[in-house]
Every structure is written in C-alpha cells, then in structure tokens.
C-alpha cells in the first residue's frame, strides 16, 4: 500500500472514534479521546516504538537512534478535535509520523537520533478555556493554575486528568530539556485556500499567528418580556449583539487582524424573559503581537462604552494568550532542501491557525509543513486532503528526516 493510502486508512479508523455518534467530536480527556489514544499507542508499538500516555494525556512513542548521545527529534500533531470536526486537522500529522517511523523500522533503518512521535491531546482548547495544554507541558510552560479550569459541566482539568488515568502532579516532569531536543516538526493541512489556488501541494511555514482568547460576561436585568417597557430594559442579549458586531467590525477594518465570537450563551434564557445575563467568547489573532494587543485594548473600551450606554455591566477576561511564533530558520531550510531534492517548488507562508508548535516558541526549535486541502475547508466535516497530496507531504518529511544531521 502506498503511504498516502495507508495514512488515509488510519485517518478513517480514527474518525470513527467520537463522543457524538454520527459526527466527529473528540474533546480533550473525553472517553473518545481515551479510545483514540489507546489506538494510537497500539499503532506506535506496531511501528516499532515504545509508547506511553504521559502525565498530561499526550501519547508519546519513541524510536531509538543509533547514537545514545544524540538529541531527540519530536514529530507529530494532535488527536483532539473541535465539535463536528474534519478527520485531517491534527490527525494527519500524527498518523503520517507513525507511518514514517513504521517504514524506517520495516527497513531496519535508524537515524543517529531518536525520533519521538507525539499525539498531543489539548490543541483545540474546546473543552477548557485555554489551549495547547499538552505541548505547553513538553515546553515546560504548563501553568498549574490551569488544573483548576472547569469545563461547561463543572469538571476541572485536574479531575478530568485523573479520570483519564494521568497523574497531574507529574506534569512538570514532562518538560523537555532543550539541550536534548533537535526540534519539533509538524505536518498539518493548510486549513486555507492558498496552496490549492496556486496549484501547489505543500508549503514551508514561516511563523504562526499569535492569539488571544477570552470571555465577555454581560449582566443586565432579567424581566417580564410582556410588561417591562422598552425604555426601561437592561437587556444583556441586545447589548451583547452590539458588542459582537463591534468585534466583527474591528476584525474587518484592522489590517492583519481577525476577530471572532464563536459562542454565545444566555443564562436562564426563555422566549418570554428579557435576557439578564449573557456571556460570549472572543478569539483575536494577528501575526503582529502589537496589533493584537492594541485590538484587545480597543475592544475592551468599545465594550465598556456599549455597556454604559445600555445600562448593563460587562467584564472582559482574556484568559489565554499565545504570542506570534516564528519557525526555526535552520529547520525551515531543512524542509526547503527536502522540497528541492524532490523537485517541488518552494512556497513559504505563515499560519493563521494555531498549532502545538507555538507552545515551543523561544524554548525548542520548531518547523511545520503544510499540505493542501480541498477548498481550504477545515473545522468542518467536509475537510479533505487527497491521498496523493498526503503522500507528497509524507515524502518531504521522510526526506527531511533522512537528511537531518545532529
Ligand atoms: C486551532 O485549530 C486554532 O487555531 O484555534
Ligand atoms: Mn490542528
Ligand atoms: Mn483545529
């Protein structure tokens, strides 16, 4: 079987492991995440690795090198998903890495350096307020305060980890010593339309855009929808609607900025009640941290002004920040050299989406390879990358690994 077809078959098997029958939803530390982690660990073992689930719920498989003194190369991506997800976002990089190591093992080949394949568990940050918990642990940047974050059912990260079989007290021990790591390299679908539009298959990523995520809580006064006169209302939902449009306006009018409200919830909402309390999420991104911070400040001011005019209170909490993260120059050259050896044109581009790699910024060198996906669609069940394109990506990564020197 060609490597593209083999990867596609494993992606299909993983896509069947879901917490919601009929669609793919696999949030961090859920029962489906556990089953997927076990499957991935078994694939790693079959591929000649020693596999374990670490203290933060990542699956880590190790394929030894010939030189015990050499640093380790980390490759992989994530196996958690958004709600109603596609089957390629994250899983492609994990499955491709396992296939590549499996092929090395089948040929009885080892590089001087050990290769560790990591299937991160908390890239999307859908279950808890912050994202990149798994990669931050490896980067030595896991803030223990995150253990107290609670999901929408009131379950804390700590409780969810223990139920998954992890020991939160050992998370700090997962930190990698930069002196022992060659770098982290991740293959991922582009999640955008550029490669397809340009008729190209793969690209070398230059940097990952920074992100701020947060929540806005708007409190007004609930009341009877039939009796409270319009002029006397403190409607938290109408105020939130105006704030949401302000978020959109700011994103649309600021160069190099995207701003999104992805979720909005009313408390005790009913058709015949004037909404008294609403909260909504914020997701603000830019390649330029200054632009992003200025946007957060401007938005906080606009939200306060809207709240004041409408007689409601609004609180903005930015609970998660990931600075823009440049990819390592040397590893980028390594990927570009692999493209050249395979006769592929070099396209370089930044990543608008976040990735586990950004948790390593300033700590461990990292690089990423994008593979074209159909219509640029992602975070959507229609997400698709052709086996032939996957094969090209896998060949680039294999060639990169073959030529990487310690
Ligand atoms: C992950 O997909 C993100 O960019 O939020
Ligand atoms: Mn992803
Ligand atoms: Mn994603």
pLDDT at 214: 97
Chain-centre distance for alpha carbon 310? 37
Residues in the chain: 406
Of ligand 1's atoms, which has the minimum distance to the CA of residue 191? 2
Give pLDDT tens digits for 371-404: 999 999 999 999 999 999 999 999 999 999 999 9
Q: Mapping DSSP to helix (H, G, I), strand (E, B) and coil, where does residue 160 land?
A: helix
* 3 pLDDT tier (thresholds 50, 70, 90): very high
| Distance from residue 355's CA to the centre of ligand 1 (Å) | 6
Give pLDDT tens digits for 306-329: 999 999 999 999 999 999 999 999
Sequence-distant (6+) residues with CB within 8 A of 285 are 209, 210, 211, 212, 257, 258, 259, 292, 352, 354
| Distance from residue 1's CA to the centre of ligand 1 (Å) | 32
What is residue 156's DSSP assignment? B
Ligand 1 pocket mutation pick from 322, 354, 383 by most atoms within 8 angstroms of CB: 354
Q: Mapping DSSP to helix (H, G, I), strand (E, B) and coil, where does residue 168 land?
A: helix
| 89 alpha carbon, closest ligand | 2
Task: Determine if ligand 1 sits within 6 Å of the CB of residue 210.
Answer: no
The reply to whether 3-208+324-403 and 211-322 are identical in fold is no
Of ligand 1's atoms, which has the minimum distance to the CA of residue 125? 5
- Nearest Cα neighbor of 312 from 238, 225, 247, 250 is 238
| Distance from residue 403's CA to the centre of ligand 2 (Å) | 26
Ligand 1 pocket mutation pick from 27, 28, 260, 353 by most atoms within 8 angstroms of CB: 353
* Average pLDDT across the chain, whole number: 97
Give the β-pairing of 366-371 and 181-189. Answer: parallel
Looking at residues 80-106, what average pLDDT do you find?
98
Sequence-distant (6+) residues with CB within 8 A of 255 are 291
Give pLDDT tens digits for 161-200: 999 999 999 999 999 999 999 999 999 999 999 999 999 9
Q: How far is the C-alpha of 391 from the C-alpha of 254, rounded, in Å?
A: 38
CATH topology of domain 3-208+324-403: Aminopeptidase (3.40.630)
Query: pTM score, two decimals?
Result: 0.91
Task: Determine if ligand 1 sits within 6 Å of the CB of residue 331.
Answer: no
* Under 8 Å between Cβ of 115 and 101: yes
Of ligand 1's atoms, which has the minimum distance to the CA of residue 131? 5
pLDDT at 392: 98
Q: How far is the C-alpha of 64 from the C-alpha of 114, rounded, in Å?
A: 4
- Looking at ligand 1, which residue's alpha carbon is closest to its atom 3? 354
Give pLDDT tens digits for 214-246: 999 999 999 999 999 999 999 999 999 999 999
| Distance from residue 379's CA to the centre of ligand 2 (Å) | 9
Sign of torsion over alpha carbons 241, 243, 245, 248: negative
- Looking at ligand 1, which residue's alpha carbon is closest to its atom 5? 354
| Distance from residue 398's CA to the centre of ligand 3 (Å) | 24
pLDDT at 74: 98
| Distance from residue 15's CA to the centre of ligand 2 (Å) | 14
Give pLDDT tens digits for 10-47: 999 999 999 999 999 999 999 999 999 999 999 999 99
| 77 alpha carbon, closest ligand | 2
What is residue 113's DSSP assignment? S
Looking at residues 348-365, what average pLDDT do you find?
96
Give pLDDT tens digits for 337-356: 999 999 999 999 999 999 99
Task: Determine if ligand 1 sits within 6 Å of the CB of residue 207.
Answer: no
Residue entry with tokens 């010939």? 66
Domain 211-322 class, CATH top level: alpha beta
Task: Determine if ligand 1 sits within 6 Å of the CB of residue 353.
Answer: yes
HSE-CB at 7 with a 13 A cutoff on CA atoms is 32
Chain-centre distance for alpha carbon 91? 11
Of ligand 1's atoms, which has the minimum distance to the CA of residue 283? 5
Other C-beta atoms closer than 10 Å to the C-beta of 79 total 28
Question: Residue 76 is inside which H or E element, if any?
Answer: strand 72-78
Give pLDDT tens digits for 257-285: 999 999 999 999 999 999 999 999 999 99
Task: Determine if ligand 1 sits within 6 Å of the CB of residue 124.
Answer: yes
Please classify residue 370 by burial: count the beta carbons closer than 10 Å to its beta carbon, then call 0-12 exposed, 13-18 middle and 19+ buried: buried
Sign of torsion over alpha carbons 39, 41, 42, 48: positive
Q: Mapping DSSP to helix (H, G, I), strand (E, B) and coil, where does residue 51 land?
A: strand
Give pLDDT tens digits for 151-170: 999 999 999 999 999 999 99
What is residue 72's DSSP assignment? E
Q: How far is the C-alpha of 22 from the C-alpha of 19, rounded, in Å?
A: 9
- Residues whose Cβ atom is located within 5 A of ion ligand 2: 89-90
Question: Residue 103 is inside which H or E element, if any?
Answer: helix 91-106
Give rounded-to-5 percent helix, strand, coil for the chain: 40, 25, 35
On the question of pLDDT at 406 being above 80, the answer is: no
pLDDT at 85: 98
Of ligand 1's atoms, which has the minimum distance to the CA of residue 354? 4
pLDDT at 341: 98
pLDDT at 334: 98
Q: Mapping DSSP to helix (H, G, I), strand (E, B) and coil, where does residue 295 land?
A: helix
Task: Determine if ligand 1 sits within 6 Å of the CB of residue 354.
Answer: yes
Q: Where are the domains of the chain?
A: 3-208+324-403, 211-322
Q: How far is the C-alpha of 228 from the C-alpha of 8, rounded, in Å?
A: 58
To the nearest 10°, report the CA torsion of 272, 276, 277, 278.
Answer: 50
Q: Mapping DSSP to helix (H, G, I), strand (E, B) and coil, where does residue 261 land?
A: coil
Of ligand 1's atoms, which has the minimum distance to the CA of residue 82? 2
Q: Mapping DSSP to helix (H, G, I), strand (E, B) and coil, where does residue 144 land?
A: helix
pLDDT at 107: 97
Of ligand 1's atoms, which has the minimum distance to the CA of residue 124? 1
């Amino acid at each position: 079987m060609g490597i593209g077809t083999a990867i596609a078959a494993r992606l299909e098997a993983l896509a069947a492991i879901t917490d919601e029958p009929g669609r793919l939803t696999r949030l961090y530390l859920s029962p489906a995440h556990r089953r997927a982690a076990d499957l991935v660990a078994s694939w790693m073992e079959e591929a000649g690795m020693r596999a374990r689930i670490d203290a933060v719920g990542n699956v880590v498989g190790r394929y030894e090198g010939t030189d015990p003194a050499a640093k380790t190369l980390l490759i992989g991506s994530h196996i958690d998903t958004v709600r109603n997800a596609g089957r390629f976002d994250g899983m492609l990089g994990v499955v491709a890495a396992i296939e590549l190591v499996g092929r090395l093992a089948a040929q009885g080949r080892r590089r001087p350096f050990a290769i560790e394949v990591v299937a991160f568990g908390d890239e999307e940050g859908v279950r808890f307020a912050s994202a990149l918990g798994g990669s931050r642990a490896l980067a030595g940047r896991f803030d223990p305060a995150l253990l107290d974050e609670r999901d929408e059912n009131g379950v804390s990260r700590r409780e969810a980890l223990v139920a998954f079989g992890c020991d939160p007290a050992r998370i700090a021990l997962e930190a990698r010593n930069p002196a022992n790591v060659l770098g982290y390299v991740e293959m991922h679908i582009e999640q955008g339309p550029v490669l397809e539009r340009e008729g190209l298959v793969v690209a070398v990523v230059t940097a990952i855009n920074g992100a701020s995520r947060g929540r806005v809580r708007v409190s007004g006064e609930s009341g009877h929808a039939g009796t409270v006169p319009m002029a006397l209302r403190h409607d938290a939902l109408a105020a939130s609607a105006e704030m949401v449009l302000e978020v959109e306006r700011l994103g649309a009018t600021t160069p190099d900025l995207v701003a999104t409200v992805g979720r909005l919830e009313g408390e005790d909402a009913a058709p015949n009640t004037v909404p008294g309390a609403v909260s909504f999420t914020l997701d603000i991104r830019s390649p330029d941290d200054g632009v992003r911070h200025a946007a957060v400040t401007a938005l906080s001011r606009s939200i306060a002004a809207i709240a004041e005019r409408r007689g409601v209170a609004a609180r903005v909490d930015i609970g998660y920040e990931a600075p823009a993260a440049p990819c390592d120059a040397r590893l980028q050259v390594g990927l570009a050299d692999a493209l050249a050896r395979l006769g592929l044109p070099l396209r370089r581009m930044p990543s608008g989406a976040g990735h586990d790699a950004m948790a390593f910024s300033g700590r461990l060198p990292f690089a990423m390879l994008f593979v074209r996906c159909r219509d640029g669609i992602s975070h959507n069940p229609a997400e698709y990358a052709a086996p032939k394109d996957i094969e090209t990506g896998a060949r680039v990564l294999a060639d990169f690994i073959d030529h990487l020197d310690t």
